[in-house]
Amino acid sequence: MKGIVAAVPTPLDAHGAPVKDTFLEHCAWALANGCDALNILGTTGEANSLGLAHRKQVMAWAAEAFDTSRLMVGTGLTSLEDTLDLTRAAADMGYGVALVLPPFYYKPVTEEGLVAWYEALDRALGATPIEIYFYNFPQMTGLKIPADVVERLAKTHPKRFTGIKDSSGDLDYCRELVRRLPDLKVFPSSETALAEGPGAGFAGCISATVNISAPLCARLLQDPADKAVAGRVASIRADIAAHPLVPAVKYLVGRRADESAWNRVLPPFQQLDDAACGSLDRIAETL
């Protein structure tokens, strides 16, 4: 997997349940408008606010509708048992990649503890044919997956631990992983990293805001030296990120699709106020 990966949101009905046709319409739009792949049920997808049954339902919808080689799915929870359950289900549906958060609740988490947890997941999966990408998002989890842990697991289990999504915003961390592990697929979470070009060694990006700017991002991927496009991509991302990110992305997707299910969010998120919606409308008018 490589290139531009949209971390897709999840539309909701009035009861907080995912809405199939609306979800699939946006996934198809993203794949047709510059995205190489989709990250289903990550942070943008409100995965950790959805129950296991709804997560499996959304996983199944995507797997039935699209080529699973273009899909990855978030399966990480603090419970190893539930993580294993979702990861096995993903493999059974044909997913080749699972994005797995570290066990973030009990702290402090030692490096040995992290290694033990991921190795326990690997052992339990056994011959199950699914690759694991680490999901490093310390702003949400309260812990950073140390580069030493990533290196150790990737070297001792090279067919299982094959990539990472880094949402820390620390490109030096990403560069260090590329230096240590040239075969690891390193995905920064910001599409602005595409401007560094292939020489940076990144596999692409996995981003929430490419749900909005996918066509521009595809142009930047093709020509990283295009400073005008790079500046526009960075500006759009910054303007959207000035708002609560997940509700903002959902609002803009809903505006494109003319579908109210995108305006709903699960607690603790709140719907955007009129001022925020007006600000986002002005962003949309420039696209």
CATH number for the domain that contains residue 216: 3.20.20.70
The pLDDT assigned to 111 comes to 98
Residue 43 assigned as binding residue: no
The b/e string for 232-270 (b: 16+ C-beta within 10 A; e otherwise) is bbbebbebbeebbbbbbbbbbbbbeeebebbbbbeeeee
Mean pLDDT, range 162-176, rounded to an integer: 98
Whole-structure pTM over 0.75, yes or no? yes
- Residue range(s) defining the domain that contains residue 83: 3-284
pLDDT band at 31 (very low <50, low <70, confident <90, very high): very high
Residue 54: helix, strand or coil by DSSP? helix
Which tens digits make up the pLDDT trace of 94-144? 999 999 999 999 999 999 999 999 999 999 999 999 999 999 999 999 999
C-alpha to C-alpha distance for 82 and 51, rounded to whole angstroms: 11
**Identity of the amino acid at 5:** V
How is residue 18 annotated by DSSP? Answer: B
Q: Which residues are catalytic?
A: 135, 165
The pLDDT assigned to 76 comes to 98
Residue 44 assigned as binding residue: yes
Nearest to 49 by CA among 155, 158, 140: 140
Mean pLDDT, range 249-259, rounded to an integer: 97
Q: Are 204 and 186 in contact (CB under 8 A)?
A: no
**pLDDT of 287 strictly over 90:** no
Q: Are 95 and 135 in contact (CB under 8 A)?
A: no
How is residue 192 annotated by DSSP? Answer: G
Helices (H), the chain: 20-32, 52-65, 80-93, 111-125, 138-141, 147-156, 171-180, 210-222, 227-241, 245-257, 274-284
> Locate tokens 């339902």: which residue?
57
**pLDDT of 13 strictly over 90:** yes
Mean pLDDT, range 29-38, rounded to an integer: 98
C-alpha to C-alpha distance for 253 and 117, rounded to whole angstroms: 36
The pLDDT assigned to 130 comes to 98
Our count of domains for the chain comes to: 1
Element (H, E) at 99: strand 97-100
